[in-house]
Amino acid sequence: MNYEKYGRSTASAQYFLQLANYLGIPVIAWNADNSGLERRASQSSLQLQLAPSLEHQTAAMLSILERYKWHQFSVVTSQIAGHDDFIQAVRERVTFMADRFKFNILNAVLVTKASDLIELVNSEARVMLLYATREEAIHIMTWAREKKITGENYVWIVTQSVIENHQDPPYSFPVGMLGVHFDTRTNSLVNEISTAIKVYAYGVEDYITDKDNANHSLNTHLSCEGAGESRWKAGDRFFKYLRNVSVEGEQGKPNVEFTADGVLKAAELKIMNLRPGVNNKPDWEEIGVWKSWMVKPGEQLDIKDIVWPGNSHTPPQGVPEKFHLKVTFLEEPPYISLAPPDPVSGKCNMNRGVICRVAKEADIENINIQEAHKNETFFQCCSGFCVDLLEKFAEELGFTYELVRVEDGKWGTLEEKNGKWNGLIADLVNRRTDMVMTALMINSEREAVVDFSVPFMETGIAIVVAKRTGIISPTAFLEPFDTASWMLVGVVAIQAATFTIFLFEWLSPSGFNMKATAPSPNHRFSLFRTYWLVWAVLFQAAVHVDSPRGFTARFMTNIWAMFAVVFLAIYTANLAAFMITREEFHEFSGIDDHRLSKPYSHKPVFRFGTIPFSHTDSTLKRYFKEMHNHMRKYNKSSVKAGVDSVVSGELDAFIYDGTVLDYLVAQDEDCRLLTVGSWYAKTGYGLAFSRNSKYVQMFNKRLLDFRENGDLERLRRYWMTGSCKPGKQEHKSSDPLALEQFLSAFLLLMSGILLAALLLFLEHIYFKYVRQHLAKSDQGGCCALISLSMGKSLTFRGAVFEAQDIIRHHRCRDPICDTHLWKVRHELDIAKYRIKQLEKEMEAHGLRPTKRRAVNTSANHSCCWGCCTTKDSPSHEATPQFYFAASNLVNTHHVRSNVVVTNEFLPHLPCDSSFYRTEVAEIETVL
């Protein structure tokens, strides 16, 4: 078909091709202006196309760009069917020609209304490839004329669908427009019919002559009634022979052959130029030809003189005189900070920078831009280091720019789910922006897909923590000496002094008789009392102590007192320095500190985070996986939120770019923030561009100039410096002390109470369980050397002496109490007298009573309450008197409780030693 008005037969041809493909019927086609469309849209695998395809047209258009050294261009399409295929064909051809000529597709604009051309107006595109119908092209060029993008600096190159039959071009088409075209008149259609018959005939001949097809007939059994086949089985096999035919072409042209996709290998296109004709009426004129079969690139295109836009005889430069850049950013103080614009004028003050868009592109459609400038949800004022640097670039290089915030609010990382980039890098990869200007860190992953300038600032990954002021360590009272010093004093000095004084007292002839079996009543020295003496002297405690008698032991005590004076002087002098309120913080060595890299190795676990989808996050994810997994629940959406969490104590640390954290530390009013450790993964901030961008070199050159003349350093000092407010800090240091300031003293007191409670428990255990076992083997001699009270608790004499001492020193105002005390003392004297009488009578009978017990319990005696007999003698009358006195002693008034107890004698008690020992123990307990 050769309908030259696009769209008249598109639907029917499309349906026909799809139906033929479904039935398995090969198609040999010749289409005028939609030759490439049907093959792509219908996905027909059984179609041979005799007309030049859409790929041929894009190749011819890019050959024109190559001839005149136009490296950058934009693609403009309407909603014509197959416009995506045209853009894809252009991209494929750009990739194919990348080895010999670098192209840069600036924009791919779909135009449905006049406002869609704003993107072209704001871009630096000066060469446009247009793919649309003739009617749509008329509207597009009318809008373009209104936007003033059809002048002498703009070149429009159109496809066959725009030119159609090249008769009577519309006045809206600007003079100088170029296009690609092939003959679509009826004569051309008739000529192609004969070529199609040849292709069919050669295909049949090749099929029949092939011996492999002896059993395969070309006859069909297709039927629409359901009785036959629904698809021609031999169709696919026959198509392979049609695709491989070679038909002799016209004189001077190559044979008609096809590619594996059924596209014509050798195609010829005419290059058309819109020139002013008679009466200034525009007219299409053929100025050259493009031949696809020419091997050498320079020979494919043959063009004579061209009338260029604006009736010029010289081609335009293809680049803007003052180009425009779309600059994408993400806020990061101090590099880029946001502030609301003036609500009345919609402009930024001098100190607030330049206007920048923070709303998404879809949100500002059909909105008055002038009114939107007054709304901070759409536009805000950008200021900072990068904005000032961008202003210097614009002044030096002569360009205009538009600042736009990245829509997804991410820095740019490679997502694991779909393998695509997000954030700023995605805008560059997809060529939605020309340049990224912010604190974007350079790394190897990003450099693989975008181009970076030379770094304008060095940085790395750092850690920020907060000072914890006013808290004293619970062990501050131990800090004046190190562990070795305390061990030397506690284990060596105290023990040596104690045992030395005790040993000198033992060996001294003028000291207490430490070798005595049982200490005398006036004995006042033991090992525990020596310890009490040493501790009391060491801490200069105003308590009662028992001093040794021996001169050597007393001299040693004085030496220990001198040591205690020196020790306390040193301790108290240093204690003041350790008990003052100090500022504490977590001193991390860096990211590789084991408390961070191995977070679960430290208890309690530290809380720290960063910003997701940032350079820091991706670096930690790659090299510190355990650390990265731990941080996820502590990550924050912004640097301010992270730093505020550190100040409030919600986080122990925040990890991010070093220069940004240094700036925030310098700006902290309370001076509570500080960065710790060394920077990790040092790199730099750079300007990012799309791959193979022509702007990289010019920006690099200017950056080096700025660094050399000191402009970068001046900007750094202006934006990066800050100062704390020391007055606030001094005010805080004079605040009254809170409980936590001297918490160590309370902890020491509480520990002493708990230890005393433990000793009380052990004392009860001793009197209830241990003492009766010690009484069997120790009569109070050895134990008294360690503790006098322990030795007395094991002997009857010790208990009696203790009772005497209590009676001697205890007085009460109650006359009844005094009477009771006198009676107890009198009965005690009688008991002593009777004991002596008993001892004399026993000696008269040849029996010597033991000095350790009141009653002999040896093997030769059998004793009970009220009787005492031996194997050699009967009972004696003095014995009952002795036990009667003892019973009277027991059954008298209880000294401590003033309770009157019966005085009667208790006869007929069992006569065995175990019962006796129990009674003796009870007597001792009462005393």
pLDDT single digits (tens) 512-534: 766 665 566 666 677 788 888 88
- Predicted confidence (pLDDT) per residue in 774-783, tens digit: 766 665 556 6
- Per-residue pLDDT at 143 exceeds 90: yes
Report whether 200 contacts 256 (CB < 8 A).
no
Out of 90-94, 154-158, 261-265, 775-779, which region has the weakest mean confidence (pLDDT)? Answer: 775-779
Q: Taking all residues of the chain, what is their mean pLDDT, rounded to a whole number?
A: 78
Q: Which of 889, 879, 897 is nearest to 837 (CA)?
A: 879
- Per-residue pLDDT at 628 exceeds 50: yes
- Check residue 138 and give its pLDDT: 92
Neighbours of 503 (CB within 10 A): 15
The pairing of beta strand 127-131 with beta strand 155-158? parallel
807 — pLDDT class (breaks 50, 70, 90): low
Q: Tell me the one-letter amino acid at 362.
A: A
- Check residue 861 and give its pLDDT: 41
Out of 66-80, 128-142, 540-554, 594-608, which region has the weakest mean confidence (pLDDT)? Answer: 540-554
- Check residue 449 and give its pLDDT: 93
Q: What is the rounded distance in angstroms from the CA atom of residue 700 to the CA atom of residue 452?
A: 9
- Check residue 434 and give its pLDDT: 93
DSSP-derived secondary structure letter, 547: P
- Per-residue pLDDT at 308 exceeds 60: yes
- Per-residue pLDDT at 35 exceeds 70: no
- Check residue 142 and give its pLDDT: 94
Select the more confidently predicted residue: 120 or 910: 120
Mean pLDDT of 612-617: 87
Binding-site residues sit at 446, 616, 657
Select the more confidently predicted residue: 184 or 800: 184
- Per-residue pLDDT at 51 exceeds 80: yes
Neighbours of 329 (CB within 10 A): 27
- Check residue 863 and give its pLDDT: 38
421 — pLDDT class (breaks 50, 70, 90): very high
Q: In sequence order, what are the beta bridge partners of 389?
A: none
Local structure of 402: helix, strand or coil? strand
At 922, list the tokens: 């009870």
Local structure of 612: helix, strand or coil? coil
pLDDT more than 70, % of the chain: 76
At 859, list the tokens: 């093997």
Is the peptide bond preceding residue 521 cis, with omega within 30 degrees of 0? no
As a whole number of Å, the CA-based R_g of the chain is 54
- Check residue 742 and give its pLDDT: 52
- Per-residue pLDDT at 744 exceeds 50: yes
- Check residue 265 and give its pLDDT: 86
- Predicted confidence (pLDDT) per residue in 6-28, tens digit: 555 566 777 788 888 888 899 99
Mean pLDDT of 280-303: 80
Report whether 27 contacts 44 (CB < 8 A).
yes
Q: What is the rounded distance in angstroms from the CA atom of residue 122 to the CA atom of residue 241?
A: 53
Report whether 822 contacts 830 (CB < 8 A).
no
Q: In sequence order, what are the beta bridge partners of 181?
A: 270
- Predicted confidence (pLDDT) per residue in 56-77, tens digit: 999 999 999 988 888 899 999 9
Phi, psi of 296 (to 5 degrees): -75, 135
Q: Provide DSSP, 330-354.
A: --BTTTBEEE---TTT----GGG-E
- Check residue 896 and give its pLDDT: 37
Beta strands in 529-685 (DSSP E): 608-609, 653-657, 673-685
Find the helix or strand (DSSP H, E) in which 861 lies: strand 861-864
Neighbours of 589 (CB within 10 A): 13
Neighbours of 845 (CB within 10 A): 10
- Per-residue pLDDT at 157 exceeds 90: yes
Q: Tell me the one-letter amino acid at 185.
A: R
- Predicted confidence (pLDDT) per residue in 247-281, tens digit: 887 777 888 888 888 888 888 889 999 988 777 78
Q: Tell me the one-letter amino acid at 597.
A: S
The answer to whether the predicted template modeling score (pTM) of the entire model surpasses 0.85 is: no
- Per-residue pLDDT at 708 exceeds 80: yes
Select the more confidently predicted residue: 884 or 681: 681
Select the more confidently predicted residue: 815 or 798: 815
Q: What proportions of the chain, in percent to the nearest 5, are helix, strand and coil?
A: 45, 15, 40
- Per-residue pLDDT at 551 exceeds 80: no
At 247, list the tokens: 């038909």
DSSP-derived secondary structure letter, 69: T
Q: Which of 645, 649, 651, 644 is nearest to 668 (CA)?
A: 644
Q: Which of 714, 720, 721, 661 is nearest to 389 (CA)?
A: 714
Alpha helices (H) along 68-185: 83-96, 118-122, 134-146, 160-163
Binding-site residues for L-glutamate sit at 446, 616, 657
End-to-end C-alpha distance for the chain, whole angstroms? 134
Q: What is the rounded distance in angstroms from the CA atom of residue 835 to the CA atom of residue 829?
A: 10
- Predicted confidence (pLDDT) per residue in 349-401, tens digit: 766 689 999 998 888 877 887 788 888 889 999 999 999 999 999 988 888 89
Q: How buried is residue 831: exposed, middle or buried, by Cβ count under 10 Å (0-12/13-18/19+)?
A: buried
- Per-residue pLDDT at 894 exceeds 90: no
- Per-residue pLDDT at 38 exceeds 70: no
Q: Tell me the one-letter amino acid at 184.
A: T
Local structure of 242: helix, strand or coil? helix
- Per-residue pLDDT at 852 exceeds 70: no
Out of 263-272, 279-288, 404-413, 897-906, which region has the weakest mean confidence (pLDDT)? Answer: 897-906
Cα 755 to chain centroid distance, Å, stands at 45
- Per-residue pLDDT at 772 exceeds 80: no
